[in-house]
Amino acid sequence: MIRFSDEVLEAQSAGRPIVALESTIISHGLPRPRNFEVAVEVEAIVRETGATPATIALIDGAIHVGLESSQLDRIANDDNIVKASTRDLAIIQATKQSAATTVAATAHIAHLAGISVFATGGLGGVHRGHTYDESADLQALATLPIAIVCAGVKSILDVAGTLERLETFAVPVLGYKTNKFPGFYLTDSGFEIEHRVDSVAEIAAIWKNRPALKTNHCAIVVTNPVKNQMDLALHNQILNDGLAAAEKNHITGKAVTPFLLEYFHTASKGESLRVNIDIIKSNSQLAAEIAIALK
Ligand code: PSU
Ligand code: MN
């Protein structure tokens, strides 16, 4: 059912560390033409760190774990690429569409493929002001044993609400070299993290303790704050304007997150894009280090 790239197949048979990478950030999170370049650069960072990148997507109905350059190009540049969450997978397969996978869908496929470390930019979560708009990412984190590296949850979300949901689902949240829950474009969201880790060895030790405790039904969230954050006043101004614009334009459902990210990239004249790229690169490197430590 899964089509593995030659590179991922080789890594699997040799027992080498693999890092899953999501594709919605490429298709719906970053503007063209930087999106394709960043996807290539992120894979290179994973390789340089000593692991194998496995970007996940669906192409003409087939699930791919590890993409060739032409397939990555299609995810980045084809207007017909849809954003697929877990519930869409069987539908995309049956209708032979092509889709980028969200954190939720990527984690699901990574787990099917036996990959346990995953890097993204910012997690989905509870949306501000909308009681029933919660990213399916939360449900995936609640049910899949995967270590996910992120810069917290996207700052367009209700961070407090998202942290409460993660607590309910018993998902551990670790701060990598920080006690502050990162705020995606911002180093600090204003919320504390109880558990700080200062090395990948500590993360590996926590990961390895879970099966015997039977607390490995869910993800471990490793948060990695951006070093050079967006200007706080600019961030808050654009966030307010963007949320109002989304409301005014009746943006709903899966279009909300891509709309707000695009709003940020345009209104900040590329400053949020710079930060988003920093985040995904640094998270991919840390994910590769964790994948190596878990071997
Ligand atoms: N991180 C980023 N950019 C993104 C995303 C994450 O830096 O575009 C994507 C992920 O694929 C995540 C999705 O799963 O946004 C969340 O969308 P929603 O809120 O509709 O669940
Ligand atoms: Mn939603």
pLDDT tens-digit profile of 155-181?
999 999 999 999 999 999 999 999 999
Of 154, 226, 252, the residue with max ligand 1 atoms within 8 A of its CB, to mutate for a pocket test, comes to 154
Using a CB cutoff of 5 Å, list residues around ligand 2, an ion: 133
pLDDT number for residue 130? 78
Q: Is the CB of 83 under 6 A from ligand 1?
A: no
pLDDT at 223 over 90: yes
pLDDT at 71 over 90: yes
pLDDT at 242 over 90: yes
Q: Which domains does the chain have, with CATH numbers?
A: 2-294 (3.40.1790.10)
Count the helices and strands in the chain (H runs, E runs). 12, 13
Query: Residue 77, exposed/middle/buried by CB under 10 A (0-12, 13-18, 19+)?
Result: middle
Whether residue 141 contacts residue 221, with contact meaning beta carbons closer than 8 Å, is answered with yes
Point out the catalytic residue in the list 154, 180, 254, 281.
154
pLDDT at 205 over 90: yes
- Cα–Cα distance measured from residue 179 to residue 118, given in angstroms and rounded to the nearest whole number: 22
- Residue 271, SS3 per DSSP: helix
Whether residue 57 contacts residue 97, with contact meaning beta carbons closer than 8 Å, is answered with no
Say how many Å lie between the CA of residue 266 and the centre of ligand 1. Answer: 18
Of 22, 83, 149, the residue with max ligand 1 atoms within 8 A of its CB, to mutate for a pocket test, comes to 22
The model's pTM: 0.97
pLDDT at 256 over 90: yes
* pLDDT confidence tier of residue 148, bands split at 50, 70 and 90: very high
* pLDDT confidence tier of residue 129, bands split at 50, 70 and 90: confident
pLDDT number for residue 281? 98
- Rounded to 5 degrees, φ, ψ at 191 are -110, 145
- Residue 154 appears among annotated catalytic residues: yes
